[in-house]
Amino acid sequence: MDAIFTGPFIFSAIFFLVLIGIGIVIFSRFK
């Protein structure tokens, strides 16, 4: 894959995983 495409793709994937992690933490706190 091209580096121009791989860079933003990896960044968006990490950002998506971080959002899921924060959502799980907030959900577990209010549960």
Residue 2: per-residue pLDDT: 66
Give me 2's structure tokens: 């091209």
State the DSSP string of 1-31: --HHHHHHHHHHHHHHHHHHHHHHHHHHHH-
Please tell me the distance from the alpha carbon of residue 27 to that of residue 11, in angstroms, as a whole number: 24
User: What Rg value do the Cα atoms of the chain yield, rounded?
Assistant: 14
Q: How many structural domains is the chain composed of?
A: 1
Residue pointed to by tokens 């899921």: 20
In this predicted structure, what is the pLDDT of residue 10? Answer: 87
Q: Which domain holds residue 4?
A: 1-31
pTM score, two decimals? 0.58
pLDDT under 70: residue ranges of the chain = 1-5
Q: How far apart are the first and last CA of the chain?
A: 42
